[in-house]
Structure 1
Amino acid sequence: MLFRQLEYLVALSREHHFARAAQACHVSQPALSEALRKLEEELDVQLVRRGRKYEGLTPEGERIVVWAQRILADRDALKDEVGALRTGLSGRMRIGSVPTASGAVSLLTAPFTAAHPLVTVEVVTDLRSQDILRQLRNFEIDAGITYLRPGLPENVATLPLYQERYVLLTSAADDLARRASATWAEASLLPLCLLTEAMQGRQVVDQVFAEAGLRPVPRVETDSVATLFAHVRTGNWASVVPHTWLHVFGVPHGMRALPLVDPVRAVPVGLVVTAREPGSAMARALTEVARHTDVAGALERLPGAPDLP
């Protein structure tokens, strides 16, 4: 059995298509198919359901994929560990983030890359919380930044980073803009642009509205926090955004950011990694940086933002 054969199987499971899997692995489709046939012969079990086109993996194949992902992750972790012992940590670290937390990612990547100059960081910021947990489980990312909600899997280790709070982002011409804060009830009466319902950041906002007996219906929905800012900029919309995004944009000209009160809500956000030993050298290094970085303090010192309660 070769690592290459396991890589092909994992790629096929991810791409659901022989040609795309072969392209992802930089080999021809016949070479990938033949390697998988030899793996089936060696394991003496059918892994792929074959017809006129790819029809999926067999139940045995699905199970072997889990082992393949684990073996390949351990191989990569071993290479990182040996490299770190010889010349310092090097390679690529993959971080997944929920969109609402992506504005805070740079507070970790900056000190991390300074401490480990041979590492390249890849950040994916359009993931839902469940996507992050799935990709951690499948060893597709080394770490994630997401909401630390109850019921996280036991095989996930967490490190709290900050408390996410919410501001009403509105046009400076709006009557509310002269106020020091706004209530959730007042926000519900405005033409709102919010994240889509599938995103946990939106679910948190909906929960706060519901607890106040409110159910606003946004006229525009998006999966991008930056798009929320763009819509508010037109003067036609208001939005509820995490205070962390003011760290990225400040309060743009022509807008106001008002802390939302009645109630004041804070939701914990943190770093999540797979709780395995010895685990990923990349994840351990990032966790160490996070332990010594005051992310919450940095997010409270927002240029041009109002004092938050």
Structure 2
Amino acid sequence: MIGKLEMLIALAQERHFGRAAESLGLTQPTLSTGIRQLEDQLGVKLVQRGSRFGGLTPEGQRALVWARQIVGDTRRLRDEMRYSREGLSGHLRLAVIPTALTWASRLAHGFALRHPNVDFTIISRTSAEILELLENLEIDAGISYLDNEPLGRVTTELLYRETYSLFCRPDHPLADRDAVDWADLDGIDLCLLTPDMQNRRIINRRFMEEGLSPRAAMVSNSTVVLVNHVMLGGWATILPTGHADFLATGHELRTIPIQQSDAGHAVGLVAAYQEPHTPVLGSLLDAAAELASGQGER
């Protein structure tokens, strides 16, 4: 039954029989047979079928909610039993907003030193994708904004508060400033993250509060692209201060703080709400709290 519920979850996520089968390491006929057997066991039609996947039926949608809960509880049970046999071990999957990747690395590095039998996979995703991945049980936790847009029913642990800096070459007109205001950035050539990134939406709101409408003539979902564009000359970008300092290391680039009146948006660890947490996830939340203790945004 558990395996067939995992098939339903994969099919709902991929919305395609072939891709869902591939994600599970199965053949498409095996997946199709498994879904039909699940329908027979439950006595309802779960999937609209035609020449291709047509979506879940209303019963399928309700079954999906239960499937996520049952599969999630089963995985937590396995983690608990493994902990009783082997101590803290397993594999943690983290999805992280691009501007927090350095913090993800610090968290994983410190955790792995203490718990060498726990492996990590870290991927970069938008804040919206992180919530979707958590819901679909595709990750164990994420690092994202905590206080800017709705998160739903999750467990959170603050890591830092985000402040911003202008990132530019030493020959940029603003490069000799010790600090700048948001108004100082009006009219300069900016390259910024794409609008699907929550960081970009926060920056847009900052400009709107100043009554400004700057134009970003080049956008990317990669901070590496933004930094390289700055290095080529004539451009500047806006990045969280800690991330900007990291990317500037070893390059002749300036990070100039942008003055702001508030403490900045909270960024931290996000996990699906559950009581109790598995030993591994509980330890990761504790590690995040310890990492953040007494530290500002770096």
Q: Which runs of 5+ in 2 are unaligned?
A: none
Superimposed CA distance per residue, residues 214-247 of structure 1 (whole angstroms, 9 cap, x where no aligned partner): 1101110111112111110101210111112135
Pairing of 1:1-309 with structure 2 (within 5 A): 2-125=1-124, 127-149=125-147, 152-153=150-151, 155-261=153-259, 266-294=264-292, 297=295, 299-300=297-298
Matched residues, percent identical? 37
Q: Which amino acid aligns with 1:273?
A: A
CA deviation after TM superposition for structure 1 residue 41, in Å? 0.8
Between the aligned partners of 1:111 and 1:205, the Cα distance in structure 2 is 31
TM-score, L = length of structure 2:
0.93
Q: Which amino acid aligns with 2:203?
A: V
Q: Which amino acid aligns with 1:277?
A: E
CA deviation after TM superposition for structure 1 residue 139, in Å? 2.1
Secondary structure of the 2:192 match is strand
Secondary structure of the 2:137 match is coil
Decide which moves more: 72-81 or 162-171.
72-81
Between the aligned partners of 1:251 and 1:218, the Cα distance in structure 2 is 25
The 8 Å contact of residues 77 and 281 in structure 1, kept in 2 or not, is answered as: no
Aligned length: 298
The 8 Å contact of residues 40 and 47 in structure 1, kept in 2 or not, is answered as: yes
- Taking a change above 3 Å as real, the CA distance of residues 202 and 252 of structure 1, as seen in their structure-2 partners, is farther
> RMSD over aligned Cα, in angstroms?
1.9
Decide which moves more: 257-266 or 27-36.
257-266
Q: Which amino acid aligns with 2:102?
A: G
Decide which moves more: 4-13 or 43-52.
4-13
Between the aligned partners of 2:153 and 2:188, the Cα distance in structure 1 is 42
Between the aligned partners of 2:231 and 2:261, the Cα distance in structure 1 is 26
Alignment partner, residue 305 of structure 1: none
Superimposed CA distance per residue, residues 132-183 of structure 1 (whole angstroms, 9 cap, x where no aligned partner): 2222223222111111115645521221111111000111112321121122
The 8 Å contact of residues 183 and 263 in structure 1, kept in 2 or not, is answered as: no
The 8 Å contact of residues 196 and 222 in structure 1, kept in 2 or not, is answered as: yes
Q: Which runs of 5+ in 1 are unaligned?
A: 301-309
The 8 Å contact of residues 184 and 263 in structure 1, kept in 2 or not, is answered as: no
Superimposed CA distance per residue, residues 85-113 of structure 1 (whole angstroms, 9 cap, x where no aligned partner): 21122221111111121221112111111
Between the aligned partners of 1:219 and 1:295, the Cα distance in structure 2 is 39
- Taking a change above 3 Å as real, the CA distance of residues 212 and 259 of structure 1, as seen in their structure-2 partners, is same
Between the aligned partners of 2:296 and 2:29, the Cα distance in structure 1 is 53
The 8 Å contact of residues 18 and 29 in structure 1, kept in 2 or not, is answered as: yes
Between the aligned partners of 1:118 and 1:262, the Cα distance in structure 2 is 43
CA deviation after TM superposition for structure 1 residue 131, in Å? 2.0
The 8 Å contact of residues 163 and 297 in structure 2, kept in 1 or not, is answered as: no
Secondary structure of the 1:297 match is coil
The 8 Å contact of residues 88 and 116 in structure 1, kept in 2 or not, is answered as: no
- Taking a change above 3 Å as real, the CA distance of residues 100 and 138 of structure 1, as seen in their structure-2 partners, is same
TM-score, L = length of structure 1:
0.90
Secondary structure of the 1:63 match is helix
Secondary structure of the 2:142 match is strand
